[in-house]
Amino acid sequence: MKNVALVLAGIGMAVWAASAQVVIPPVNTVSISGTVHDDPFPSKRVSLPVAGAKVGLWRQLAILNNSGAMLPGIGSVRVDSAITNATGKFSFAAATSGLYQIIVDDPSYNSRTISVDAARDTSMTIVLVAAGAHAPVAGTVWAACSGVLGMPCILSAVAGCTVTVVKALPGVSPAAKAAIVAPVLEQLFTAVTNSQGQYSLDSIPVTVNGERITVTATKSGFQSASADTSIRNTITTTVNFTLTMTAGAPHDTVYVSPPKPTSQDSLTFSLVNTEHCCATVYRNKTVTVNDTTIFLSYSFDDSLCASVRCLTAGSQTDFSSKPVPAGRYAIYKLESYYCPPPRLCPAIAYAPVLVGRVTVTPASATAPVVRDRVGGREYRIVSSGSFALVTVEKNAVVSIAAYDVRGALLGELYRGRMTQGTHRVALAAREGERVAATAVILRLYVDGKEAASDIAVVRR
């Protein structure tokens, strides 16, 4: 009997243990309640309770994000409903804690949707604005102008600029916004500026006074700009923009003047820097010629860039140079950081950057240029791509010779009798003659005398 008792006792303990493992904890219920009031703005009366409004309680569903984690979505199922009493109050006893949406509807007011994370009993006040409440948004879009340290400037209007107002849908939690494609969560309103740069959006719906919107101005050739602001029923919200033009050149560029320089010409190099602002100060500018390379050296000072508004991105500075020998050159910029004395600055090394090329022709090869007279008559030679146009004003024996930029003879392109008129001659040497130079000087001879010359660019 003692053994049987022990066995029965053991069985009882096992049964009790087994039953203890499956005990279900009590359900954690929460209460969600609140009061619905109207928003009289812009009237100055006190807010009044809204009786008879329909209040729906919706349980937010969950969705998976890209990593598989559970996130609340905008999908939901209705779990309860209520009607506000004479004092505008409502109450729900939710089965479990969690994420809910409360949707309030009344024909006299705009519907409100509010997200609630009901981890415990929750009470709230919901304010409704009158049905059809809307707010105008207007403003002007200007093009920025150059002005250093507060110097006056004249702003110009930007016509044809697209202005977009983005208004988030109500009742969407931040976690849901991270999980849902953005356009699903937003309302978009657009307008285009007129010739004075002005725009106006008259009917942005107001769900609640003070809600946030994002206004963005966009036009090709300008850097887009955005502003966050709030809207209120019937009140015009003014949002102005000052847009900065984008750089015209995609890369650093140099322009050489004169465009077809000779070895007798002084040169001007106009350097366009896309990475510096319009107020950049260039110091210690020098031009160095080394074999087939021209270096534009300088130090840059960007200290004023924080106090400037620029019409265009980038900046420009000029370098002056004495005449350089005839030849074809690659042009590099070589910059360094300007360190004003007596400040100690870190040593910053910048690699040379190729910004352009230039061909300088011998001065003697350019006279006469394009046109001259032989025996009182005019003759011309003008290069055009892969051929030259030769004009003679009487029948004559004509020859065309090609020289390199240093004046060395490369070969004869043509020899023969030409009749009066204009003739087309291909820019190709006779077999065995070398005219492979990129830039050549064409000289026209009539009856053994030089009559005219021109510069031609021959593609290899």
Q: What is the pLDDT of residue 5?
A: 45
Bridge partners (DSSP) of residue 245 are 222, 312
Is the pTM higher than 0.85? The answer reads: no
Q: What is the pLDDT of residue 174?
A: 46
Q: What Cα–Cα distance (Å) separates residue 221 from each residue in 130, 161, 165, 311, 312?
A: 42, 10, 21, 11, 10
Strand order in the sheet with 162-168: 186-192, 162-168, 211-218, 225-231
Positions of the chain with pLDDT lower than 70, given as ranges: 1-28, 61-75, 95, 144-155, 168-186, 246-250, 309-313, 345-349, 364-378, 383-387, 405-406, 427-439, 454-460
CB proximity list for 327: less than 8 A, separation 6 or greater = 292, 359, 360, 405, 406
Closest by CA to 243, choosing from 138, 148, 149, 159, is 159
Rounded to whole angstroms, how far apart are CA atoms 135 and 264?
69
Q: What is the pLDDT of residue 88?
A: 95
Residue 52 gets the label, from left (phi > 0), alpha (psi -120 to 50) or beta, of left
Q: What is the pLDDT of residue 53?
A: 94
Q: Which residue has tokens 């322009």?
A: 255
Rounded to whole angstroms, how far apart are CA atoms 45 and 41?
8
Structural domains present in the chain: 30-128 (2.60.40.1120), 134-243 (2.60.40.1120), 253-360 (no CATH), 364-457 (2.60.40)
Q: What is the pLDDT of residue 148?
A: 41
Average pLDDT score, the chain: 76
Q: What Cα–Cα distance (Å) separates residue 67 from each residue in 64, 70, 173, 396?
A: 8, 9, 19, 85
Concatenated DSSP letters of 141-182: EEE---EETT-----EE-TT-EEEEEEEPTT--HHHHHHS-G
Rounded to whole angstroms, how far apart are CA atoms 53 and 285?
76
The predicted-structure confidence for 264-273, as pLDDT tens digits, reads as follows 889 999 898 8
The predicted-structure confidence for 65-91, as pLDDT tens digits, reads as follows 455 444 444 457 888 999 999 999 999
Q: What is the pLDDT of residue 384?
A: 57
